[in-house]
Chains A and B, each alone.
Chain A
């Protein structure tokens, strides 16, 4: 099967087809909702809750490392998606719907529960299964979800503090607001200035 975005869509349609032949009750079973702390811009409450559960398994609280929820990773991703092409937000929503869907879970992970309704150990197993799945579209989905969650999480000062990184240096404002032409030349020498 070619590994394209279209495959994900097809895969989504297959899920939808299964719902139509009688899986509705199973597929809608038990989403555990989480309340966003900012108004949602692109995701549905169900998609947001699924994303929150995924983000917390990708970045759980660990020692001095905060959880993804603590640093508002799901809200950050929802906001990012509002600045991307509408098709991208739709694709993410579809991927989240599939991960949450208990029927799809039964097909691929032998779990008859929603993702949000599963135990942390099961959630980890689902994510690990996606990561090395023989179905390329599932690996693609893992890659997309992990990338969004990790990028949002590790750019937060509370998260990166555990790496030894102290955040960017402050050079002051050596430029001026006007674009391009009025910007003064680079300083001739700074303490670390180089050729």
Chain B
């Protein structure tokens, strides 16, 4: 069985040829690569990030974000209003994601069919794909007795208030419940792509190149001819001068949202100006609260409970769902805008602090077309994501509801991540209504990047790029809207569904 080929092993330019060249080895690329090799096709996968194993995951935040994340962990929207977390290694974002798995809600699939002309992606036709990936990735309910204190806050607060709340399903096997999913699983418990579908693809004969970044897809007329790429030096992240050329019968972009659209734009493929449009991010805001007893928000599975009480807030309103993040000190420190003594005081409470996130469901209102990816001068993606009034309304509401949740769960102090630090007693949370909300008024972020090559516009319902016969996009960038649930399982299942379309493209 072959292994991933790492960048440092190349001494000269490389020319490859194959049936299918897949750019990106994350949720979409990995499942697709495994499916295609199972059908006997010759597959090459190019991955800009490095190849890592549990031996590399020393759980040290000071190294992990710069090694395993896009932009060394500092990727953000154009105005820096939203930090954008996205993985960059063999396995893509699945290597460092928090393992929450949901099937796509029926109402979202119906919305895609009705408003975006998506065909054949309904719950009945998706069911076998969900079942197959759930089996391969061991996606199953996380028992309530293993839910950590941070997630128990969600369950307790919601139950107290009579709000909907549930435990989550996770793709883990032999999980040590340590809480470090976001910096790479040290015990191989997470059933991420580098542990599952990519080894399957390798066993099927795929060649996976790590540290190789695709510069452009080459094409002529309606046919893609291959991919031009360059080898990156893993430490500096910069090209080391060695070039890679892959000639392929079919090319697939699985580089994820932001970077997938950027690859197409760099290649001169913009689908009539549609590539990069409708980029969705599940805009996230957070509320932190201090409890009398220790929470230790750094320990235990990071996400194991959620509330969908407000996911559908009715016509004209943006919904949101509530989850939790893992709070190791570095990640926790990037949230508030405090500095100096205020910041030290904030961090001294960390052990007793619980943080909840509200993820806003963007792209469902008719007037909500999300953000736009364009290219920077150096060819990297730039995301302009405007914070429009309907989103600001949802963010305000989300702050107030999360504060209510924490009070019901027994918090003694509630803080928001506003520019002017706020710390409120439980009986003062009503004043949250008067605070300013929106870009740079408070910290916001996203770990769910979606859209930009939307199905129904940039690609058809078989993932085929509109202007080409043999170019496909198979990753989270094809979503026409956000989901209202965490996206990974939808991407796995769509990629499995896409396998036959891509295979047909070879012949």
Tell me the nearest residue of chain A to B53, going by C-beta: A175
Q: Give A82's nearest chain B residue, CB to CB.
A: B236
CA distance A35 to B350 in the complex (A): 33
With both chains docked as a complex, state the minimum distance between the C-beta of A180 and any C-beta of chain B, in angstroms. 5
Nearest CB in chain B: distance from A139 CB, A: 4
Given contacts A140-B80, A156-B62, contact A193 B347 (CB under 8 A): no
Distance between B82 CB and nearest chain A CB, rounded to angstroms = 11
Residue from A63, A82, A155 whose CB has the most chain B CB atoms within 10 Å:
A155
Whether B74 and A152, one on each chain, are in contact in the complex, defined by CB atoms closer than 8 angstroms, is no
User: How far is the CB of A13 from the nearest CB of chain B, in Å?
Assistant: 15
Q: How many residues belonging to B are interface residues under a CB distance threshold of 8 Å?
A: 83
A21 an interface residue at 8 Å Cβ cutoff?
Answer: no
Q: Which of B120-128, B185-193, B451-459, B484-492 contacts A (4 or more CB under 8 A)?
A: B185-193
Decide yes or no whether A84 CB sits under 8 A from chain B: yes
- The answer to whether residues A179 and B339 also contact, given A83-B237, A84-B74, A168-B180 and a CB cut-off of 8 A, is no
In contact, A180 and B177 (Cβ under 8 angstroms): no
CA distance A177 to B3 in the complex (A): 12
B215 CB to nearest A CB, Å: 14
Verify if B343 is at the interface (C-beta below 8 Å from A): yes
Q: Which of B53, B203, B296, B333 contacts A183, CB < 8 Å?
A: B53
For window 332-354 of B, CB contacts with A under 8 Å fall at 332-334, 337, 339-341, 343-344, 347-348, 350-351
Contact partner of B66 among A63, A83, A175, CB < 8 A? A83
Q: Is B377 in contact with A87, judged by CB distance below 8 angstroms?
A: yes
Find out whether the CB atom of A181 lies under 8 angstroms from the CB atom of B339: no
- Within 8 Å by CB of A177, from B53, B81, B298, lies B53
A3 at interface (Cβ–Cβ under 8 A)? yes
Say yes or no: B1 contacts A181, CB within 8 Å: yes
Q: How far is the CB of A90 from chain B (nearest CB, A)?
A: 10
B residues in contact with A180, CB < 8 Å: 3-4, 51, 53, 90, 194-195, 198-199, 202
The answer, among A57, A80, A153, A178, for a CB contact under 8 Å with B3, is A178
Contact with B along A178-195 (1 / 0, CB 8 A): 111111111111101111
Task: Tell me if A20 counts as interface (CB < 8 A to partner B).
Answer: no
* In the bound complex, CA of A109 to CA of B229 (Å): 48
Other-chain contact of A151, B54, B174, B334 (Cβ < 8 Å): B334
Report whether B334 and A177 are in contact in the complex, using a CB–CB cutoff of 8 Å. no
Query: When A3-B78, A87-B376 are in contact, do A177 and B55 touch as well, CB less than 8 Å?
Result: yes
Tell whether A136 pairs with B440 under 8 Å between CB atoms, given A179-B51, A180-B3: yes
Q: Which residues of A contact B66 (CB under 8 A)?
A: 80, 83
B79 adjacent to A195 (CB under 8 Å): no
Decide: B3 and A195 in contact? CB cutoff 8 A.
no
Q: Are B59 and A163 in touch, CB under 8 angstroms?
A: no
Q: Is the interface of B mostly helix, strand, loop or mixed?
A: loop
Whether A190 and B333, one on each chain, are in contact in the complex, defined by CB atoms closer than 8 angstroms, is no
With A143-B337, A151-B334, A164-B351 already in contact, the answer to whether A183 and B176 are too (CB < 8 A) is no
One digit per residue, 1 when the CB lies within 8 angstroms of any chain B CB and 0 when it does not, for chain A 115-151 equals 0000000001001000110001001101110111011
For B384, what are the chain A residues with a Cβ–Cβ distance below 8 Å? 4
Q: Tell yes or no: A85 within 8 A of B by CB.
A: yes
A143 to B83: give the CA distance in the assembly, Å.
10
Listed residue (A62, A146, A181) with the most chain B CB atoms within 10 angstroms of its CB: A181
Tell me whether A174 and B334 are in contact (CB under 8 A).
no
Find out whether the CB atom of A192 lies under 8 angstroms from the CB atom of B177: yes
> Is A159 engaged at the interface, CB distance under 8 Å to the other chain?
yes
Q: Is the Cβ of A83 less than 8 Å from the Cβ of B235?
A: yes
In the complex, the answer to whether A186 meets B189 with C-beta atoms within 8 Å is yes
- Which chain B residues in 158-215 approach chain A with CB under 8 Å? 172-178, 180, 186-189, 194-195, 198-199, 202-203, 210
Q: Which B51-73 residues sit within 8 Å CB-CB of chain A? A: 51-62, 65-66, 71-73
Most chain A CB atoms below 10 A, which of B78, B344, B380? B344
What's the count of A-B pairs with C-beta under 8 Å? 217
Report which of A88, A139, A154, A186 forms a contact with B329, defined as CB distance below 8 A: A154
Nearest-CB distance from B324 to chain A (Å)? 17
Asked if A65 and B340 sit within 8 Å, CB to CB, the answer is no
State whether A154 touches B333 (Cβ < 8 A). yes
In the complex, are the beta carbons of A83 and B236 less than 8 A apart? Answer: yes
List of A residues within 8 angstroms of B65 by Cβ: 151
Q: Which residues of A contact B174 (CB under 8 A)?
A: 185-190, 193-194
Binding site of A, secondary structure by majority: helix, strand, loop or mixed? Answer: loop
Q: How many chain A residues touch B (Cβ–Cβ < 8 Å)? A: 71
Residues on the A chain within 8 Å of B368, using CB:
none
Cβ of A160 < 8 Å from any Cβ of B? yes
B249 CB–A CB distance under 8 Å: no
Interface hits, B418-443 → A, CB 8 Å: 419-420, 439-440
B371 CB, nearest partner CB in chain A, Å? 13
**Chain B residues whose CB sits within 8 angstroms of the CB of A39 once the complex forms:** none
Q: Please, how many angstroms separate the alpha-carbon atoms of A131 and B338 in the complex?
A: 9
Instruction: Check if B146 sits within 8 Å of A179, measured CB to CB.
Output: no
Residue numbers in B under 8 Å from A165 (CB-CB): 298, 328-329, 350-351
Q: How distant is B283 from chain A, measured CB to nearest CB, in Å?
A: 16
Separation in Å of the B344 CB from the closest CB of chain A? Answer: 5
Chain B residues lying within 8 Å of A82, measured Cβ to Cβ, are 236
Residue B140 interfacial (CB < 8 Å): yes
Q: 6 additional contacts, CB 8 Å, given A4-B384, A85-B378, A181-B1?
A: A148-B74, A154-B347, A162-B344, A163-B348, A175-B57, A177-B53
B residues with a Cβ closer than 8 A to A are 1-4, 6, 51-62, 65-66, 71-74, 78-81, 83, 90, 140, 143, 146, 172-178, 180, 186-189, 194-195, 198-199, 202-203, 210, 235-237, 294, 296, 298, 328-330, 332-334, 337, 339-341, 343-344, 347-348, 350-351, 376-378, 380, 382, 384, 419-420, 439-440
**Can you list 5 contacts pairing A with B, beta carbon distance less than 8 Å?**
A62-B344, A82-B236, A139-B440, A160-B329, A186-B187
